[in-house]
Structures are given as structure tokens and as C-alpha cells.
Amino acid sequence: MTRSELPSADLDRVADLWGARTPHSKGSVWPARQDLRLEDGLQIDDVDHWVGSACVLCSNGCGCDIAVKDGRMVGVRGRVDDPVNHGRLGPKGLYGSTPWASSPDRLTRPMVRVAGRLVETDWETAMGRVVEVSRRLLEEKGPLSHGFYTSGQLFLEEYYALAVLGKAGLGTPHMDGNTRLCTATAAVAMKESFGSDGQPGSYTDIDSCDAIFLYGHNMAETQTVLWSRVLDRIEGEDPPIVVCVDPRRTPVAEAAERTGGVHLAPYLGTNLALLNGLQRELLQNGWIDEEWVAAHALGLEELRKVVDPYTPEKVAQICGVEADQVRRAAEVFGTTRDVLSTVLQGFYQSHQATAASVAVNNLHLLRGMIGRPGAGVLQMNGQPTAQNNRECGADGDLPAFRNWDNPEHVQQLATLWNVEVQQIPHWAPPTHAMQLFRYAEQGSIGFLWISATNPAVSMPESARIRKVLDGEQCFVVVQDLFLTETAQLADVVLPAAGWGEKTGTFTNVNRTVHLSDQAVAPPGEARSDLEIFQLYAREMGLTDKDGEPLLQWDGPEEVFEAWKECTRGRPCDYTGLTYQRLREGGIPWPASEQHPEGTDRLYTDHVFPTHTEQCETYGHDLATGGGVTEQEHRAIGANGRAFLKGSPYVPAHERPSPEFPLLYSTGRTVYQFHTRTKTGRARSLQQAAPDPWVELSAPDAERLGISEGDVVRVESPRGAIEVRARVGFVREGTVFAPFHYGSWDRDALSTTRQANELTMTVWDPVSKQPCFKTAACRVIRVRAGDGPSTAPTTAASRPVGALSPTRGGAATTSVTVPTPTYRLDPAGRAR
């Protein structure tokens, strides 16, 4: 990996993904470094003003300022005083934050479908059409005819408005977001283990851990700034040992080898067997804190029975790893003082997702390694505002981590919103995204409103999703920045304002809340998502039980104040926060009126929100998803203790066969985000990863007669793609395809690039997160390519052979600056 020296101007952050190192030793504050990018030709002095915000191009939530010139967003700089990033920004944030906003293909007027074609119209006509269909269906079929599918990219205020609209206004349980595809398992794993959603750990754990385990988490590409923080520890004194679980040889895997750790590359779909093996090693070797477990956790003996069969040899056989690697990884976990674990899509989007992610929590509970600096769990998010969707309940959960099955919790909301309890859907678990689309497929949902997400590209089994969206059985409203692949299939398209064009808050992986102020006006007639939801509520005449209009807020700050009331006394207490306070920088919740400074880590007292009256869920059986009843939960009597829950491994739903002999996984590259709505419109990023590819291992490629750059056809029982091959470092027997690529930047709707053509309609029984990482496929060489694949060479997709490196990002600046005091940073306090 290339490195640069400080201070530095003209830094190509396409070539240099993580920027220059600022090494530091264990327990010291991560040094500050300020990264900056302005449009070509602009200098600092040209900027009219800076507007405080945080980056939305991954889940890390880096504090930043938006540069504004002549009413346009022209760049970003990292905020040095922000506890999340200490001034840094990653390649996606630097290059991708602003160019999309002035892209000529922005949606600026509403559109409606007339005689099969989308045509521009005015708001009155478009919203008139929406309201007409909505009213008719409510009259004919009631609220169950309505579904809402939102995002991990809106602001807190918008999710809360949507949640009130759906639950108090219409009374539909059919609400979810694409967070189901990205962080549902994170939330559910925390609920099952600790009783409620809420990130136990903090990013500051990186600064003081002795080992860091990354489970299915290619942090080097998905959260580049967080990885900089890890790299700065690795290059400092007392570096942590890295252990990586990933079927690809990612930069994280290389770091594992460098630091004396282990890279475990299990067969796709076998994570739980591996984790059961690690838990067994801890138990067998006595690497557990019996006293702590007895005082603060339940279920040790049951867990012991479940994991007992998973000897290192058995794990080796199931997962295709060395038994000694399993022993070594367990030894690192079991004998190192402070361990930090992070988990992401390699677990969340894979087979037995919840059980495997809960097993990570178990490892920490067994050693009592939670609630103190350096010993934490980070169940990660994929998107910048996913946390808020989970908190606010636009994903179907009840707001502020309330339990839909707890009548008292439902009553609290009914009181808060002044509606009848029966109006709030709580007679069954909320509908998850995959089920929502099934209802839309059948037509029982006849009105589907999609905001800020692109299911036509991002959901599994694309052909099926296209049919659902395109069919006559369901009226589809899409609210977005651009005419995405999904919007092209809609009946009404509403132009939305994006980041920087509206004001609101959002919360990152480690609970840090940021305020993002409006920097510029949205283009044309585009409106903020909040305004759009409010317009609909007004036109529909949605009211509380006294006939007062719902969603009657004057701007986002009033919504935030209403939300604060909703969180009072809940685990995600926002009552100590104000817009004014947040303008000074990010603050992690809980931040009550008594402790408005916020909280760096949870569970420092080792008391978990598992009281029956308090918990967000009574829990589930991890194998089937069968629910625990209130009565059963009460009988267990957790009362503040965490749950140790285990489940046996079972093979994935689709396994290789003679017909489809290879395993297929989708994933990400460092230069693109989601379906490229923003990153694909940033020249530096798009040129760095312009086209889809598939990665094959060298032995598989040789067997199939495939060379670097050949055009290959990858087929599963559900579909096929034709892309160029990258002969790289994915595990033998496995094929990897990036999921970012649809067809919005092609002339015609093309389905031969889209990784999700091949994936399968199947989901985890507990988190309901669909599985993107366990399909079977075959690969056929179609023809020679006209050169090597354009897959990036800088990270996990690097080639086996020597190719010219990916580079050519526009100039950025990066300078070391004095490190300020971070109020909640344990290292800062210790000095």
C-alpha cells in the first residue's frame, strides 16, 4: 500500500486510500489530521462559507464542514474537533460528497406515469395522484393496503415523521427500510444479547485494545477512516493483534498476518460453525470469567451444550480452515487483555446471520469484556443514518426501542401522539422488507412508497423485484434525488432534496449524533423528504383523536424536539441534546438532561436493559425465529443480566452442486457506495471503479480457462450476468461480485451487470435480513477481454498478476494539526 508524508497537498486519495499515518501508542489519543477537498481550481479563500455536517457516504459518520461558493456545494473538510474522525475524511467522502448535487440529471420536478411513460408535472398533480390512490385503497381495503420502504440515508426527523405518519396516521405495520438489508442483524443481535438495540462499544476502543477481531468486516474499504484509526495503532507502540474472518484476502487479512494474528477464510455460509468453535475453545480452556458471567449473564450451561460438538477439527472440516488457526484465533481472544470486535455484512448478509453475530456478543460476555475501554463490541452499520431508522421506527420497530409486544410501551406512544392505542399496529411483529415486497407482489399491498433507496438494484433476485415494481398490482411512489432504476418503474416520482440541501440530524455506528445544516437550496422544485411526508399527511387529513393534524411541525428542529420527548427515559435518550449544542460537534447518546455531554460507551455498570418492562424484545429462538412470550421472558427473570444464546450450525440454503459448483457472494468496493447514486457521479471515484467485475481465485480461473479481463458469464438458478473477470485473492471455490452496478448510466435498462440477478430470496429467521452471500453459481468464459478488468488494484480486489495501479483521483489536502481535547475520550481523560 502506498503512503504519503505529511503535510501534503495534491494528495491522490484514490491511490492512497487511508492517507498518511499518525501512529500512536496504546491508550493515547488518536492524533488529529485534517483532510480537505475542494473542486478543481478552487482555493480555501474562494469558499464563501462553511456549513457544519457529517459525511453520509458510509456509516462511520465523520464530522465535516461543507464548502459553499455562489450557492453551490464545492467541497468538504474534516472537523478536527469531532470525536469520530479527528479531522479525517475518506476517499468517498472527499470526492463523492458534493458533485452529485449539481449533476445535470437531478430530478427537479415531480413525474407521473401517463400512457406508460413518466412525464414531468407539478406537485399538485403528482401529490393529487398519490392521495387519490391512497384514499381509494384505504376506503376499499384499509391501512394494510399501504406499505412504506425507506432508507438508511434520510435524517432522523424524516424517519420520525414517517413513523408517526405510518403508525399513528394510517395504522399500517408494513414499514421497513433498506436497513433490513444492511443493519437489521446488528440491531437484532444486540436485542437478543442485551435486551435492546444500542451500540455497547465506542470507536475509542480502537485506541486502547490489545486485539481487534473483524468478523466479515472489510473495514479497510467500508469505513476507511475507522481503518486509519486501526492502522495508526498498528504502526504505533504496543500494536493490537488483528484477527480477520473473511473469504477474501482483504487489507484487513493482510494486517492480520502482519500483526501476528490470523486470517480465517471460512467457506461462505459457515460463520456460525466457526464461532461455535471459538466459543468452545474459550470454555474448554477456561478462558472465561466465571464470576462475571454468574453475576451478569444467563444461559452458560445451555451454551456449553450447544457449542460442545464444535472441536477445532470439526470446525476445520465444516469451514475449510486449519484447526490450528481456530485454536490460535481463540487463544488471541481468550488470553489478550482487551479485545474489540467488529461485525459487518460478511456476517449480517450471510447464513445464520443473527446466531453468528450473537455468538460474537457471547465471546465478550464469556470474558466479561464489555463496558470498559478497549474491550468492546461494535455491531456495525452499513449506512450513515441506519441507526436513526432503527430508533425512530420507520423500519417497523416502535420508536425509541419500544417493544411492540409490551402494552405499556404502546400506550406511551398512544399518549404521546394522542391517538387510540388500537390505531398503532402492534398485534403482530412489524412487517419486514422481504415480506413487504411479497405482499406487493401479491397485490395485498397496493400502494408502496419508496424513499431514498433503490431496491431494483439492491434487493436480492432482481428479476423478481423488477416484476413487483413494474406490475399493475401495486401503485409505486418513488421519492429520490435521481431517476434511479427503481424510479424508472414507478407510477409517481417525487424529487427530493439531498444532504446539504436540508437540515436534520443523524446518528452513526457509535451512537454519535450530528447536526447537518442546510448549506444550499435544493434544485428546481425538489423538496426535503420531511416536507414531502408532511405534504402527504396534510393532503390526506391525517389527525390525532381530537382532530388535530398529525405531523404539524414547523421545520426539522420542531420534529427533533418532539423526538426528544419520545426518547425520554429510553436507552436512546436524546433529551439533553439541542440543535445549538450539536452545532459544536457530534455527541453520542444517551444524552439525558442530567448528562447532556453524552456517553462514550454503554454498560459500564454491567447492567443490561433486559428487564421485562424495559426490553425492546422478549427474544427469539435463533434457529427458527420463534418468539419468546412475555410470560416466558418474565419467568427467565433476566433482570439486568445479558443473554448467552447459542444455536447449532446448519448448512446454507443453497450449496454448490455439480450444476452450480461455485459459491457466490456479493460485496463492496472502496470507491462506490450502494447503487452509486452519488459516488457514480463523482469523476474520481467512478473512474477508479467504473465497471462491474467478478473475482475468481487463480486455481478456479485456471481450471475454467479464464484469464484476467476475459468476459465471463456467471449464472445461478435465478439469473446471469456478463462481466469481466478479475483473477484475484478470493478463496478458492468462491466468486465475488460487487453489488453497486445497475444501469442508470447505461443507454438502456441492462440487467447483465447487476450482481443481484443471481442472489436468492431467503432471509435470516430472526433479523429477517436477506442473504447476499450464500448462493451457488457457475462461471463460463464468453470471450477474451480487450485488456485487464478495471477492478481496483488498491484493496481486496487486487489482481494476482502485475497491473498498473488504480490511481488518478483529483488533488486533496491533508495536514497534521494539533490534537484537541475530546471530552469523552478515555485516553484524553487519563492524561
Partner 1 sequence: MTHLATYVRLLHRSEQSLADSLRVVGVGHAAEADVFHTAHLLADWSDEHTRRLEPIAQRLTQASAAEEPQRMNHPPIKEIRDSAVGLPRDLQDLYLLPPSSRPAGRSSRARPKAPGTGSSRPSRRSAPRRPPVS
Question: To the nearest whole angstrom, how small is the minimum distance from the Cβ of residue 464 to partner 1?
Answer: 5
Contacts of 536 (CB under 8 A, 6+ apart): 127, 130, 131, 134, 165
What whole-number distance in Å separates Cα of residue 679 and Cα of residue 153? Answer: 14
Contacts of 136 (CB under 8 A, 6+ apart): none
Residue 733, interface with partner 1 (CB under 8 A)?
no
Question: To the nearest whole angstrom, how small is the minimum distance from the Cβ of residue 470 to partner 1?
Answer: 14
What whole-number distance in Å separates Cα of residue 731 and Cα of residue 728? Answer: 9
End-to-end CA distance of the chain: 33
Question: To the nearest whole angstrom, how small is the minimum distance from the Cβ of residue 189 to partner 1?
Answer: 18
CB-nearer residue toward partner 1: 1 or 463: 463
Binder to partner 1 among 1, 44, 650, 749 (CB under 8 A)?
650
Buried b (16+ CB within 10 A) or exposed e, 667-690: bbbbbbbbbbbbbbbbebbbbbbe
Residue 717, interface with partner 1 (CB under 8 A)?
yes
- Site residues for partner 1, 405-434, by CB under 8 A, read 434
Nine-digit cell string for 134: 391512497
CA distances to 178, 461, 476, 543 from 457, rounded to whole Å, are 12, 9, 16, 36
Stretch that binds partner 1, among 38-46, 251-259, 501-509, 616-624 (CB under 8 A): 616-624
Contacts of 755 (CB under 8 A, 6+ apart): 666, 692, 721, 737, 738, 739, 741
CB-nearer residue toward partner 1: 655 or 823: 655
Nine-digit cell string for 585: 460537534
Nine-digit cell string for 729: 485473492
Binder to partner 1 among 285, 422, 604, 657 (CB under 8 A)?
657
CA distances to 99, 120, 127, 138, 437 from 133, rounded to whole Å, are 36, 19, 10, 9, 19
Question: To the nearest whole angstrom, how small is the minimum distance from the Cβ of residue 626 to partner 1?
Answer: 5
Binder to partner 1 among 281, 461, 600, 825 (CB under 8 A)?
461
CB-nearer residue toward partner 1: 467 or 595: 467
What whole-number distance in Å separates Cα of residue 235 and Cα of residue 830? Answer: 22
Binder to partner 1 among 23, 31, 309, 640 (CB under 8 A)?
309
Question: To the nearest whole angstrom, how small is the minimum distance from the Cβ of residue 267 to partner 1?
Answer: 10
Tell me which residue of 762, 681, 807, 721 sits closest to 100, measured CA to CA.
681
Residue 317, interface with partner 1 (CB under 8 A)?
yes
Stretch that binds partner 1, among 104-112, 163-171, 654-662, 730-738 (CB under 8 A): 654-662
What whole-number distance in Å separates Cα of residue 506 and Cα of residue 58? Answer: 12
Binder to partner 1 among 310, 347, 499, 643 (CB under 8 A)?
310
Question: To the nearest whole angstrom, how small is the minimum distance from the Cβ of residue 763 to partner 1?
Answer: 7
CB-nearer residue toward partner 1: 272 or 737: 272
Binder to partner 1 among 72, 113, 438, 634 (CB under 8 A)?
438
- Site residues for partner 1, 620-639, by CB under 8 A, read 621, 623-628
Residue 473, interface with partner 1 (CB under 8 A)?
no
Q: Contacts with partner 1: how many residues (CB under 8 A)?
A: 38
Residue 284, interface with partner 1 (CB under 8 A)?
no
What whole-number distance in Å separates Cα of residue 450 and Cα of residue 208? Answer: 42
Stretch that binds partner 1, among 307-315, 405-413, 666-674, 687-695 (CB under 8 A): 307-315
Stretch that binds partner 1, among 253-261, 312-320, 507-515, 722-730 (CB under 8 A): 312-320
Looking at residue 398, the DSSP 8-state letter turns out to be B
CB-nearer residue toward partner 1: 255 or 468: 468
Parallel, antiparallel, or unpaired for β 811-816 and 734-738?
Answer: unpaired
What whole-number distance in Å separates Cα of residue 340 and Cα of residue 210? Answer: 8
CB-nearer residue toward partner 1: 765 or 820: 765
For residue 808, report the phi and psi dihedrals to the nearest 5 degrees: 100, 20
Binder to partner 1 among 718, 726, 731, 778 (CB under 8 A)?
718
Question: To the nearest whole angstrom, how small is the minimum distance from the Cβ of residue 768 to partner 1?
Answer: 8
Binder to partner 1 among 128, 429, 651, 661 (CB under 8 A)?
651
CA distances to 447, 528, 563 from 542, rounded to whole Å, are 17, 20, 19
Stretch that binds partner 1, among 4-12, 517-525, 578-586, 757-765 (CB under 8 A): 757-765
What whole-number distance in Å separates Cα of residue 318 and Cα of residue 136? Answer: 54
Tell me which residue of 286, 277, 308 sits closest to 367, measured CA to CA.
286
Residue 188, interface with partner 1 (CB under 8 A)?
no
Residue 7, interface with partner 1 (CB under 8 A)?
no
**Where along the sequence are the contacts to partner 1 (CB under 8 A)?**
302, 305, 308-310, 314, 317-318, 434-435, 438, 442, 444, 461, 463-464, 467, 621, 623-628, 648-651, 653-655, 657, 717-718, 761-763, 765
